[in-house]
Chain A
C-alpha cells in the first residue's frame, strides 16, 4: 500500500510539488528563525566576550575580615586584574576634567582595545611614568599630543607611549577621552575587577574564601547580563517561531483542501478498489499515507531550501553557521503529523463513500 501511495505521488509530481511548497516555505521559516536566533545569540556572546566579558563585580557584606591589601593580593596571585578610575585635571588639555584609569598591564590582554600608534605598557614600565591616551585626548581642542611627549597629571609628568585607535571601547565605556596609566600601588575608591584570562569565578571565590565566609560576599559576572540578554532573544525567537508554526498549520489546511479535491476526483478509483475487496481502512490508510508523504516532501524541500539560504546568509552576515540539525527530527515529525492530520477529513470521506456512489462518479 505504501508503494501504491508513493506511485500515485510520483505520477502527480507537479501537484505534489505545488502542494508541498506551502509547507516547504513554513519549514524554511521555522528553520531560519532557529538559525538566526542561535546565530545572533552566538554572535552576541562572542561580542560580549570580546569587550570584557570577564568583568566581575564583588559585593562585600563584611569588610573587617579583609586585609587592607586584599585587592593587591588578588592581583599578585594573578587571579584578577584591576582597573580603577578618577577624574582629574590634566594640563595640555582644555579646561575639562579627564578620566584617568589605573590599570594592570594584564588589563590590555583582556579587552579589545587597539592602538593607533605606539604600544601598551608592560610589567617593565610599572616604575616609569608612562601613559596610553585616547584618540580624543591626542587631538584635543587645545593641543595635539604626539608619541614621546609628556602630559602632566596633578603635576606629575607622564610620557605618552601609546595612542588608542578611534572608538576604542570595552564594557567600561569609550576610551577616546581617557588616559590609562600603570597601577600605582594604591587604588582610589571605585574599581572594576576583571578575571584574568585563565581564571574563573570559582578561583576568585576560593581566594576570597580565604578571608571571608561564603555568605559574606557575592560575585556578579557578565553571565547575569548575558542571561537576561538571552531571555530577550529567546522571547523574540519564540514568538517568531510560533508564527512560523502557525503558518505551517495553515499550509496544512492547504494540503487538506488539495487532498480533499484530489480524493473526491478519484472516486472512481475508490469504487474500483472497493469492488476489488478494499475495506474502509485500506482506503483511509492509503490517503493518510499520501498526505503524510506530501508533508514529508514539503519538509525535505524546506530543509534543502533553508540550508541553502542559511549558508548564504551566514557567510554574508559573517554569522557562524549554527543550526541544531538534531532538532530537524522534531520539526519533521511535527510536519508529517500535521500532514496526516490534514488527510483525515478527506480520507474519511473517501473511505466512507459507498461503492454505488463511487461508481456513478
Chain B
C-alpha cells in the first residue's frame, strides 16, 4: 500500500532521518518507537505529506506522493489520511461534533450528512453524550477519542497518530489504543508513534527509530 525508499531528512545540517526504507501493508497496525528527539514526529509528518523529504520516494499504491504538488497533496490527504495529534487538538470554539465534521465538510459532504456521520462516529468512540460540548469541557480521554473520531471522518485508509496517549493516564490510554485496534479491524492501516513500550502489544508490527535509521523488530 505504501512504500518508503531511501528517505532522508535533515534540519540545518543535522540528519534526522537517514536512508529510511519501509513498507506498509493494508490492515497493518504499526507501532513506531524511539527516544525523544529521535525523529518519530518528523517521520510521521513525511508520511502524511506535511513535510517534504530531502531525498527518497514515498509511494502510495505505486504513485510517488513526494513529488505531488500542494493541491494534489491536499486532495490525497482528504481522501486517504486521518491524523491524530499528541496533545489535545480540538478547535476550541467548535463543539466536539463540529470538530468531527471538519474533514467531511472539507471533503465536500453536505452539512446534514456530515453531522449524521459525526454523531455515529462519536457514539462509536463513546463520546455520544458530550458531542455538543465545547472541547474544554471534555475530559482528556474524551477529547482524544473525539480527535480519533475526527480522523475517521473522511473514511481514510491510513490513520497516523503522534503520541495519541501522550497526555492520558494509563486507563484512558488503554481505551484509546483499544479503539484504534477496533478501527484497525476494519482494514484501516494504523501507524502509532510513541516512546511508550507498553503500547507495543497493540501492534502487529513494531518499528524502532534510532540515530536516524528505522528498523523493523522481528
Contacts and interface: CB of A to CB of B under 8 A. Distances in A.
A176 interface: no
A275 interface: yes
Contacts of B90: 272
Contact of A276 (B45, B51, B92, B106): B106
Interface stretch (B29-37, B77-85, B119-127, B164-172): B77-85
B84 to A, nearest CB: 9
Contacts of A269: 91
B91 A279 contact: no
Interface of B: 45, 48, 50-51, 70-71, 74, 77-78, 81, 83, 85, 89-94, 98, 102-103, 105-107, 150, 153-154
Contact of A356 (B45, B71, B78, B98): B45
B103 to A, nearest CB: 4
A4 to B, nearest CB: 7
Given A356-B45, A356-B51, A277 B78 contact: yes
Contacts of A356: 45, 50-51
A359 to B, nearest CB: 7
Nearest to B106: A277
Interface string A272-286: 111111111010000
A7 interface: yes
Given A276-B150, A359-B50, A7 B93 contact: yes
A334 interface: no
Contacts of B150: 276
Give the 9 A-B CB pairs with smallest separation, nearest first.
Answer: A277-B78, A277-B106, A355-B50, A11-B93, A276-B103, A275-B83, A276-B102, A356-B51, A279-B74
A273 B150 CA distance: 11
A268 B106 contact: no
Interface in A332-361: 354-356, 359
A8 interface: yes
Nearest to B50: A355
Contacts of B105: 1
20 contacts: A7-B98, A8-B93, A11-B93, A12-B93, A272-B85, A273-B91, A273-B102, A274-B74, A275-B50, A275-B77, A275-B83, A275-B85, A276-B106, A277-B77, A277-B81, A278-B74, A278-B106, A354-B51, A356-B50, A359-B85
